[in-house]
Amino acid sequence: MKKVIILTILLLAVIIAQAQTTNTARPKLDQNSIVKDSSGMVYPYVIWQKMLQSGDYAMKSRPMMKDGKPDYSEWEFMIVPQTAQQKAEKFARMPRPADSKFFTTGETIKPFKVHDINGKKVEAKDWAGKTVVLNYWFIGCPPCRAEIPDLNKLALKYKDNPNVIFIAIALDQDYDVVDFIKKNPLAYHVVGDGRYFADMFKIHLYPTNVVIDKQGKVQLHYSGGYQNGPYWLDKTIQESEKSTSL
């Protein structure tokens, strides 16, 4: 009987210990957190926040050690770079960007002609059998500017593929866009004074990104700065490229 009582007490002690471990406070990451890299360098809040927003870094946390044991009341944070594979896996786990209010998946878009700021034409006939990526934006839009580096990487990935066309339609006047692009190059056909083309689809949220497949049908459309937006743009482009041309 005594053995049963002793075993019961030991079992209860284990259960209580597990409960205490499970109920430890989750680490709180905010502007007061101390964030370091692997070398021990401490990053200011505004810096590590931008690093995380870029998607190129991830944050790891672990409890501080005291007397050789983890102290779950205090945590330390380390920011670590992500490989291209790690980023792709993370973005794949994230939800697909929500559909915009301005297009319908599967709807056919009538091609239109534009002139970019360098005077190059993209004719309606140029859309035939091509995958077309549209980016609606304006200079004063922070999420529009934030996504430019990733959009550039995507456009440069397909720069030697004549079957993929990238068109960035800015609301701003040509001369303002030209000045902006000098310091912030965008590897798309950049179109200025594009409010007419935004009004065609009643677009009023920015950025709005759209992928139109080889059959002229909308396959992806979203508004706002999604961290995994470029991942889904690329994924949709690849799916279009695998489909049968007209």
List pLDDT tens digits, range 184-215.
Answer: 999 999 999 999 999 999 999 999 999 999 99
Residue 3: predicted pLDDT: 56
Q: What is the pLDDT of residues 36-48, one digit of tens each?
A: 888 888 888 888 8
- On the CB side of 77, CA atoms within 13 Å amount to 21
Q: Report the alpha-carbon distance of residue 206 to residue 186 in Å, rounded.
A: 16
First to last CA, the chain: 83
Q: Are 205 and 224 in contact (CB under 8 A)?
A: yes
Distance between CA atoms of 137 and 124, rounded to whole angstroms?
A: 21
Q: Is the pTM of this model over 0.75?
A: no
pLDDT value of position 246: 44
Domains of the chain, first to last: 31-86 (no CATH), 96-242 (3.40.30.10)
**Structure-token pair, residue 199:** 């009004």
Which tens digit of pLDDT belongs to each residue from 169-178? 999 999 999 9
Distance, in Å, from the CA atom of 131 to the CA atom of 28, rounded to the nearest integer, reads 44
Q: Please report the pLDDT score of residue 19 as a whole number.
A: 47
Q: Pick the residue with more confidence: 135 or 61? A: 135
Q: What does the pLDDT look like over 78-128, one tens digit per residue?
A: 888 878 788 778 888 889 999 999 999 999 999 999 999 999 999 999 999
Question: How much is the pLDDT for 1?
Answer: 58
- The alpha carbon of 175 is separated from its chain's Cα centroid by a whole number of angstroms, namely 29
3-state helix, strand, coil in the chain (%, to 5): 35, 25, 40
CA 39 to chain CA centroid, Å, is: 27
- Indicate the pLDDT class of residue 68, thresholds 50, 70 and 90: confident
